[in-house]
Structure 1
Amino acid sequence: MNADSQSMAAPKREIEGLEKIFDQLSTEDRDDVFRILYGKQLERVQYDGILETDAAAKGIELKGYRIPAAPEQMRAPRLVKVAAIQNAIVLPTTAPIKDQRDAIHKRVGELLDIAGRAGANVVGLQEAWHMPFAFCTRERLPWTEMAEAVDGPTTKFLIPYAQKYNMVIVNPILERDEAKDDVIWNTAVIISNTGRIIGRSRKNHIPRVGDFNESTYYMESTLGHPVFETAFGRIGVNICYGRHHPQNWMMYALNGAEIIFNPSATIGGLSEPLWGIEARNAAIANHVFTVGINRVGTEVFPNEFSSGNGKPAHKDFGHFFGSSYVAAPDGARTPALSRTSDGVLVTEVDLNLNRQVKDHWGFRMTQRLDMYAKSITAAADPDYRPHIIREN
């Protein structure tokens, strides 16, 4: 967020992230901390000096890691470089709508250039990345003016980057379905490395908690759990609040996803203790790679709004804490990007690890879908009563 945006309020100082604290430990202690908290120490990727310098000059944190698989005799490695991009808004929320969007486009273009030069094959952007996260103001205008068609200005902006760098882009936008009565959805558009639109996925679970009462803007998706076959693997997109629902992750995995992105917008006071757990647990439980992406910064709005919890009205949601990371099916995870800075995290993964872990742990073999299908069907009945046995 730039100085103009920050001048609208004086947010409290935020720590940069746990990794900065870990750096203060002795080497031995640090190794133990990473082993216990992150599964293992991952190999850090070093980029050429020019790329590192360019990223730093633009205020972009660039991190790279490798998550390998065991070598196999019958399959070659399936190496894919997965990138997560997190960013703050650029202009104050009082600026003209088009100016706000265009400024964010320009900034994210810089981040995409860094990701592309780092060799990223599949890039995920954060939830509704082309606009402030204005939904919880519950105001319609001017924010609904930022809703776009799937092939609208934001997708058109990204297509040349997909073509230039031969990379797939997961493009979460506020969608206006112009073909169906201008209905608004929270959507991710999947752009192929060829520059074509492969399809779209929509947010399945809409929060109704505190400021995040987004049901005033859009409804739950009716598209289910689509998975997209790309040149670099099969991907699913579990948008934001869906990460709190284990069944949501599971269905993308059952539909064949090898990498599941979780583009999000979540704040420190609400869900930060959950952030590092949910996507990582989903990777373990479903034998897939997961990518948690969260925006950064404190977005201040011109009009006060209330959470309906008796606390004073306010003009911001709180601090979006970034901390984007990649988790692997074996429980390993990368260190996170900063809590306070724009950043690009590029992680080279070997998709062979999915099947290797599946064979080792056998969760799919033991998950008993038939039993749960019957139980969940019964529980969905309004007349269902829990199966509780009491002492006579």
Structure 2
Amino acid sequence: MKAAAVQLTAGPDAAANRRRARALLTEAARRGARVVLLPELYAVPFVQPEPDPEYFAHAEPLEGPSNAVAREVSAEYGITVVSSVFEAADVPGVHHNTACTFVNGELAAVYRKSHLPFSNGFPEKYYFRPGGSPPVVTRTEDVALGTIICYERHFPELGRLVALGGASLMCVPVASASAPMREVFQLELRAQAVFNGLYVVCANRTGQEGVKRYFGTSAIYGPDGEILAEAGQDGEEVVLAEIDPEHAARTRRTRPFLRDRRPDLYDGLAADGA
């Protein structure tokens, strides 16, 4: 089967962003992708370094227009689409950075970003309430997949939870703009693939937004850490690669990191101050 990452430039016009996203999702589906990932908060400009109360105007409910695009393309082509939206919760004044997985047009999973930065020009704690649940694994007819969001690639515990849940594919929507971190960004995603024995699909933004320039480099990594497909740093693009859940299973048999875990030694990971 094929998986795809959509690399997108988000301008100030959300409706225009959604139209371009729909076109790129459609391209991916017509090229045979069975799972397609959009970037973090794909339809709106991402947060700037200084907190801005006006930014909340971009928020929308889960059933809003951004997820509608993902749901409709998922239904039309019978594929899985992972969307990412600035969610306005039912409780007034509460917002989340949320990934939604649509399978054949149905909402199959919701994951709210649980680790939020307030550093390096990304004051996300100002805008979002952290999610209170771990990543969930969705099983489709093609593959089992889970999602973590951007900053969470720095936390190996979350990717490990996706693997322990039975996923052979991990989706990572991101908004990464710190050029000096580009090599670290790639290293972390390849490492997640290797030590969890799974495929990783990463979709990033590209282009200039305010003071930030997003470096693209959306990619698909194999369970051996190899780069199967990679976008450039500039320009909107769809990247696709073949993925094989059975290859992920074989990798876990030949490099049995999940088998050789010692959870009895890891209590300190959850202790206060650890």
Compared CA separation, residues 370 and 119, structure 1 to 2 (3 A): same
1:181-233 deviations in Å (ceiling 9; x for gaps): 3410000011112x111120011211121211210001221021211122321
Output the amino acid matched with 2:245.
L
Q: How many Å separate the matches in 2 of 1:163 and 1:225?
A: 23
What is aligned with 1:144?
Answer: 56
Q: 1:190 aligns with which of 101, 109, 112?
A: 101
Q: Secondary structure at the match of 2:145?
A: strand
Preserved CA contact (<8 Å) 2:70 2:82: no
Counterparts of 2:143 and 2:63, CA distance in 1? 23
Question: In structure 1, how many angstroms separate the alpha carbons of the residues matched to 2:123 and 2:186?
Answer: 23
Kept after mapping to 2: 8 A contact 1:135/1:214? no
Which residue of 325, 336, 341 corresponds with 2:230?
Answer: 336
Q: 2:25 corresponds to which residue?
A: 112
Q: Give the distance between the partners of 1:123 and 1:268, measured in 2 at CA.
A: 25
TM score, norm. by length of structure 1: 0.67
RMSD of aligned residue pairs (Cα, Å) = 1.5
Pairing of 1:208-219 with structure 2 (within 5 A): 208-219=118-129
Taking the aligned partners of 1:255 and 1:288, their CA distance within structure 2 comes to 12
The 3-state SS of whatever aligns with 2:171 is strand
Question: Number of aligned pairs?
Answer: 274
> C-alpha distance in 1, partners of 2:72/2:135?
27
The answer to whether residue 243 in structure 2 is matched with residue 349 in structure 1 is yes
Q: Residue 190 of structure 1: SS of its match in structure 2?
A: strand
SS at match of 1:133: coil
Q: Which runs of 5+ in 1 are unaligned?
A: 1-79, 94-99, 301-315, 385-392
Which of 82, 85, 89 in structure 1 is aligned with 2:6?
85
Find the residue that maps to 1:173 and give its secondary structure: strand
Q: How does 1:1-392 map to 2 (within 5 A)?
A: 80-90=1-11, 93=12, 100-134=13-47, 136-141=49-54, 143-178=55-90, 180-193=91-104, 195-300=105-210, 316-317=211-212, 319-372=213-266, 374-377=267-270, 380-382=271-273
Q: Which amino acid aligns with 1:371?
A: L
Residues 190 and 182 of structure 1: CA distance in aligned 2, closer, same or farther (over 3 Å) = farther
What's the secondary structure of 2:53's corresponding residue? Answer: coil
| Contact 2:75 2:106 survives alignment (8 Å) | no
- Detail structure 1 runs of 4+ shifted over 3 Å in the superposition: none
Deviation at 1:135?
A: 5.1
Q: Say whether the 8 Å CA contact 2:164–2:258 is kept in structure 1.
A: no
Rg comparison, structure with higher value: 1
Distance in 1 between the 2:25 and 2:135 partners?
Answer: 27
The offset of 1:330, in angstroms, is 2.0
Q: For the Cα contact (< 8 Å) 2:4–2:36, is it kept in 1?
A: yes
Q: What letter matches 1:272 in structure 2?
A: R
2:30 is aligned with what amino acid? Answer: R
Which runs of no fewer than 5 residues in structure 2 stay unpaired? none
- Assess if the C-alpha contact under 8 Å between 1:128 and 1:172 holds in 2: yes
Q: Is the 8 A contact 2:96 2:129 kept in 1?
A: yes
CA distance in 1, matches of 2:178, 2:233: 9
* Corresponding letter in the other structure for 1:133: F
Cα distance in 2 between the residues matched to 1:272 and 1:181: 37
Query: 1:324 deviation in Å?
Result: 0.8
